[in-house]
Chains A and B, each alone.
Chain A
């Protein structure tokens, strides 16, 4: 009896799971990104056709790569100058004629992610390529998630692939000298993908919210491929811990709920447990970096029974360490807030007022924190003014509504 026929959605799920691994192996052996992707796309069309009728083959990934290699032979032959490719063709033919049960797909995803996140590519191109090649998202899905036109996204991907080929960007793991900086670029791309999704929380933006899961998946892949890089696990833990709180972040109206007012029963305990375990293990390796410190801070919040019973000493200490490796105004603002609870609002305000940076003048979170600290040291008039500034700088309605509510609450003590 033949295996049961499959729906298109089921086939696409199977293909997506193996997409990154197969594509990376194809790119490495063909040395041509666009050709590899076109051939895998051809193989997907064949799969839809065959699998829908005959059911899932024994090894879908081997079936796909063998089919893609045959498609590559066809495509190379159809090009006018096929005699120059004789060696390549015979190599490919050997691979394509292997019995499917003998096919081993080499894992070239690490090389691939360093190519996609190469600093010679612009950041938006890095993001799109990573999602397309390692995430297996379609161009339309990526366009939708980044609120771009599909044609714009398609063009961005084509240009990036052309630059990879023409500029000689290698498919390789960088040498030891450059590895830390290049890993950092990969982590920045993954975190950017996560934050794009995290910023979108309403139902209307579901596809964008899917980006958070995509980023977590990518971080898991990279963490497996780079087991020694503690910062990769730091980022994975950080994203899991953020994501664990997503159900409590927005009211049904869409309004943003700050950490101190969130219903902690809505937090996902499984994700918190996983994130906490990952960051605890990573910290023991003593290769501390900014993602691990942020994850540790997030874990301290996630494991606190309530806002009042949060270990503010621990959090203030972690922000102090983070400030040493990442002395940015954003870190200083959060450190000031933590110190305001660990010690008193005056100490927090003193730290906050040390932030004297040109970027701060128009930075909404600074004014929001300033307003809150001024209110808590007993200066509602100055707090009111700071809220005016924060409200004027708000980028979205939820944020504005939240700040306006806080400002009104202030009014009750004013009168």
Chain B
């Protein structure tokens, strides 16, 4: 099964660039990515640019509306994701807990829909 691990945190919290904590934090991400790669779990994974770069598109009655900003203002924003191939939810949760942002943000784990043809 594939599980999407959505990484949420409040922008500006956690280790910031230029602080002594930032290096080890990024190293944690490198190590995690390497680990899931080595263990054959990684399908994909990326970080997203800050929510200030978000643009929201809506199509209503054939008309496209483009708006600056995220679709909803929330305290915690989606900052990145890992798509992992795991045996079951327990395994996915075990990996999710190793994502560095889990220490101060939240990781939402959701399975990918498999369309039944």
A residues engaging B (CB < 8 A)? 81, 118, 120, 166-170, 172, 174-175, 178
Among B1, B90, B92, contact of A174 (Cβ-Cβ < 8 Å): B90
**Which of B90, B110, B111 sits near A170, CB closer than 8 Å?**
B90
In the complex, whether B102 has a CB less than 8 A from a CB of chain A is no
**Chain B residue contacts of A168, Cβ below 8 A:** 1, 3, 86, 88-89, 92, 111
> In the assembled complex, which residues on chain B have CB atoms less than 8 Å from the CB atom of A167?
89, 110-111
B residues 67-101 near A (Cβ < 8 Å) are 86-90, 92-94
Does B116 sit at the interface, judged by CB under 8 A?
yes
Q: Digit string of B101-117 for contact with A (CB within 8 Å is 1, else 0)? A: 00000000011000010
Interface on chain A toward B: helix, strand, loop, or mixed SS? loop
Determine which of B86, B88, B94 lies in contact with A169 in the assembled complex, contact meaning CB atoms within 8 Å: B88
Docked-complex contact A120 and B89, CB < 8 angstroms: yes
Whether the pair A166, B111 counts as a contact (CB closer than 8 A) is yes
- Distance of A157 Cα from B104 Cα, bound (Å): 33
* Chain B, Cβ-Cβ closest to A81: B116
Complex interface: chain B residues within 8 A of A170 (CB): 87-90
Interfacial chain B residues near A166, Cβ < 8 Å? 111
B residues within 8 Å of A by Cβ?
A: 1, 3, 86-90, 92-94, 110-111, 116
Beyond A120-B93, A168-B1, A168-B89, list 8 extra A-B contacts (CB 8 Å).
Answer: A81-B116, A167-B110, A169-B88, A169-B89, A169-B90, A172-B88, A174-B90, A178-B94
Q: How far is the CB of B6 from chain A (nearest CB, A)?
A: 14
Q: When chains A and B are docked, how far (Å) is the Cα of A166 from the Cα of B3?
A: 11
Distance A195 CA – B90 CA, assembled complex (angstroms): 29
What is the CA–CA distance of A170 and B3 in the complex, to the nearest angstrom?
Answer: 14
Shortest B107–chain A CB gap in Å is 13
Chain A residue at minimal CB-CB distance from B87: A170
Nearest CB of A to B8, in Å:
17
* Chain B, Cβ-Cβ closest to A174: B90
**B110: nearest chain-A partner, CB-CB:** A167
Specify which of A166, A172, A174 lies most central, judged by the most chain B CB atoms within 10 Å of its CB. A166
Sampled A-B contacts (28; CB under 8 Å): A81-B116, A118-B89, A120-B89, A120-B93, A166-B111, A167-B89, A167-B110, A167-B111, A168-B1, A168-B3, A168-B86, A168-B88, A168-B89, A168-B92, A168-B111, A169-B88, A169-B89, A169-B90, A170-B87, A170-B88, A170-B89, A170-B90, A172-B88, A172-B90, A174-B90, A175-B90, A178-B90, A178-B94
Closest to A163 in B: B89
- A183 CB, nearest partner CB in chain B, Å: 15
A365 to chain B, nearest CB (A): 35
Q: B1 contacts which chain A residues (CB < 8 A)? A: 168
A84 → B minimal CB distance (Å) = 8
- Closest CB-CB distance, B98 to chain A, in whole Å? 12
Q: Which 5 A-B pairs have the closest CB atoms?
A: A170-B88, A168-B89, A168-B1, A168-B88, A169-B89
B42 to A: closest C-beta gap in Å: 17
CA gap between A178 and B88 in the complex, in Å: 15
Please name all residues of chain A whose beta carbon is closer than 8 Å to the beta carbon of B93 when the two chains form the complex. Answer: 120
Task: Compute how far the CA of A158 lies from the CA of B92 in the bound complex, rounded to whole angstroms.
Answer: 24
- List, in ascending order, chain A residues with CB within 8 A of B3's CB: 168
> Which residues from chain B contact A178 at a C-beta distance below 8 Å?
90, 94
Which chain A residue lies CB-closest to B92? A168
